[in-house]
C-alpha cells in the first residue's frame, strides 16, 4: 500500500472569479487574483492510500462517505492525475489500483469560506504526491476541474488564475505572482458571521448570473482586465491603499451582480453589511485605508490588514460586534503560505 497526506489552505479572491464559459472544463469568463491563507488556520487535510486490494475508489469527507465514482468532478481530478502520471512515466504502482481518500476541513464546509478550493487543491496535490508528480501549471488545470477557485490554492502568497483562450483549457492556469514573504506583514482576519451551509452554492449562483445578469459580461470584458493589472501593480509595490480599494470594489461588484441575477442571489446579510460599513467608518476615523473587506458567496467577511494595525482593528471590531450581541462574529487569523506534504501524517 502507498499513502500520502497533505494539507492545503483556503484562498480568498481579491479579484473575483464569477461565471464560466465552459461548465465541464470549468473555464472562467475572467481572470481572478487571490491570496492564500496560512495552512494551519483554515485548511483541508487529505490522506490518500492506493492498494492492490481495494475494490473501488472511496472517499470520506469529515468522516461521512462521499459517493466518489458518481461525482464527475472528483473523477475528472483522478483521471487528470492518472493522465499526468502516464505522461511522466512516474508511477511507482499500477494506475489500475483503486484509492481510498479521507479528507477533513478544519473550518465550516460550504459556508462561503472557500472549502471547495482547499478541498480540491488538497485532493489534487495529495494525488500528485502519491504518484510522485511535480507541482506545476498543468497540475493547476486539473485542480481547476474540481472547483475553479481550487487552482489558486496550489500556491501560497498571491496567485493569478489566467482565464486563457484555448478551448481545451490548457492555458487556463494559476501562477504565483509573489510568495507570502513578499508582503510578510499582510494579514487576513476572517469574521465568521454564520457558518451554516449557504442556500445557493457558487456553482449554481454563477450559472444563473451568466444566464440572467446583464452586467456580468460587461464586468468580465471591460472592467476586470484593468483591475487585475492595477492589483498586480499594487501587490508588486506593496501599495495597501490601492490593494484595499480594488479589493472592496471587487467584492461590492460581485454582490451587485448577484443582485442583478434573476432571481437574485443574496449572500450577504445584515451583519455582513454592518461589517462593510464598519470598515469604511474605521478607515475614515483613522484618516487612511487600514482595513479592506471582501465577501465571497456567503455572509462571512474576510478583512485584510497590515500586521501593525491588527490589534487596533481587532479591538474596534470587538467593540462594534461584541460576542453576546446578535451581531456577534468569531475571528480567525491567517498569513499566506502554500500547501505542504505532512510527513508520517
State the residues that interact with ligand DP6 by CB under 6 A: 13, 16-18, 26, 32, 114, 116-117, 147-149, 202-203, 296-297
Nearer to ligand DP6, 207 or 283 (CB): 207
Shortest spacing between CB 298 and ligand DP6, in angstroms: 8
Shortest spacing between CB 1 and ligand DP6, in angstroms: 31
Nearer to ligand DP6, 26 or 210 (CB): 26
Shortest spacing between CB 20 and ligand DP6, in angstroms: 7
Shortest spacing between CB 175 and ligand DP6, in angstroms: 15
Shortest spacing between CB 114 and ligand DP6, in angstroms: 6
Shortest spacing between CB 282 and ligand DP6, in angstroms: 24
Q: Which residues contact 136 (CB under 8 A, 6 or more apart)?
A: none
Nearer to ligand DP6, 8 or 117 (CB): 117
Nearer to ligand DP6, 72 or 166 (CB): 72
Number of Cβ within a 10 Å radius of residue 287: 7
Nearer to ligand DP6, 100 or 198 (CB): 198
Cα separation, 338 vs 336, whole angstroms? 7
Nearer to ligand DP6, 4 or 299 (CB): 299
Shortest spacing between CB 174 and ligand DP6, in angstroms: 11
Sheet with 158-161, strands from edge to edge, namely 11-15, 32-36, 158-161, 174-178
Task: Let me know: does 217 contact 259? Beta carbons within 8 Å.
Answer: no
Nearer to ligand DP6, 146 or 338 (CB): 146
Beta strands 58-61; 98-105: pairing state: parallel
Q: For the chain, how big is the Rg over CA atoms in Å?
A: 20
Residue 97 Cα to chain centre, angstroms: 30
Cα separation, 239 vs 241, whole angstroms? 6
Shortest spacing between CB 186 and ligand DP6, in angstroms: 18
Query: What would the DSSP string read from start to end of 102-163?
Result: EEEESS-TTSSS-HHHHHHHHHHHHHHHHTTPPP-HHHHHHHHTT-GGGGGGGSSSEEEE--
Task: Let me know: does 134 contact 85? Beta carbons within 8 Å.
Answer: no
Q: What are phi and psi of 202, to 5 degrees?
A: -60, -40
Nearer to ligand DP6, 268 or 316 (CB): 268
Number of Cβ within a 10 Å radius of residue 86: 12
Shortest spacing between CB 131 and ligand DP6, in angstroms: 24
Q: Which of 316, 303, 224, 216 minimizes the C-alpha distance to 261? A: 216
Angle value at C-alpha 314, between 14 and 323, nearest 5 degrees: 105
Task: Let me know: does 188 contact 302? Beta carbons within 8 Å.
Answer: yes
Task: Return the C-alpha torsion angle 170, 174, 177, 182, nearest 10.
Answer: -150
Nearer to ligand DP6, 46 or 253 (CB): 253
Amino acid at each position: 500500500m502507498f499513502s500520502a497526506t497533505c494539507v492545503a489552505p483556503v484562498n480568498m479572491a481579491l479579484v473575483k472569479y464569477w461565471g464560466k464559459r465552459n461548465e465541464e472544463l470549468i473555464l472562467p469568463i475572467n481572470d481572478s487574483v487571490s491570496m492564500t491563507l496560512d495552512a494551519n488556520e483554515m485548511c483541508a487535510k487529505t490522506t490518500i492510500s492506493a492498494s492492490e486490494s481495494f475494490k473501488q475508489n472511496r472517499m470520506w469527507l469529515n468522516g461521512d462517505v462521499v459517493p466518489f465514482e458518481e461525482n464527475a468532478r472528483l473523477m475528472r481530478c483522478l483521471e487528470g492525475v492518472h493522465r499526468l502520471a502516464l505522461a511522466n512515466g512516474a508511477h511507482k504502482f499500477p494506475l489500475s489500483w483503486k484509492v481510498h481518500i479521507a479528507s477533513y476541513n478544519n473550518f465550516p464546509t460550504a459556508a462561503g469560506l472557500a472549502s471547495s478550493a482547499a478541498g480540491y487543491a488538497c485532493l489534487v496535490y495529495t494525488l500528485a504526491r502519491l504518484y510522485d508528480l511535480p507541482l506545476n501549471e498543468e497540475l493547476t488545470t486539473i485542480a481547476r476541474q474540481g472547483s475553479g477557485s481550487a487552482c489558486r490554492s496550489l500556491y501560497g502568497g498571491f496567485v493569478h488564475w489566467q482565464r486563457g483562450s484555448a478551448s481545451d483549457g490548457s492555458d487556463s492556469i494559476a501562477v504565483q505572482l509573489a510568495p507570502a514573504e513578499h508582503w510578510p506583514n499582510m494579514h487576513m482576519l476572517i469574521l465568521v458571521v454564520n457558518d451554516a451551509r449557504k442556500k445557493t452554492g457558487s456553482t449554481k449562483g454563477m450559472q444563473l448570473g451568466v444566464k440572467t445578469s446583464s452586467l456580468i459580461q460587461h464586468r468580465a470584458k471591460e472592467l476586470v482586465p484593468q483591475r487585475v493589472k492595477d492589483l498586480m501593480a499594487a501587490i508588486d509595490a506593496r501599495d495597501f491603499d490601492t490593494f484595499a480599494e480594488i479589493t472592496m470594489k471587487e467584492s461590492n461588484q460581485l454582490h451587485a451582480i448577484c443582485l442583478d441575477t434573476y432571481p437574485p442571489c443574496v449572500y450577504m446579510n445584515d451583519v455582513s453589511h454592518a461589517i462593510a460599513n464598519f470598515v469604511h467608518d474605521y478607515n475614515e476615523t483613522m484618516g487612511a485605508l487600514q482595513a479592506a473587506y471582501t465577501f465571497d458567496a456567503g455572509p462571512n467577511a474576510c478583512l485584510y490588514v497590515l500586521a501593525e494595525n491588527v490589534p487596533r482593528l481587532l479591538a474596534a471590531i470587538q467593540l462594534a460586534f461584541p460576542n453576546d450581541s446578535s451581531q456577534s462574529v468569531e475571528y480567525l487569523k491567517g498569513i499566506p503560505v502554500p500547501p505542504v506534504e505532512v510527513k508520517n501524517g
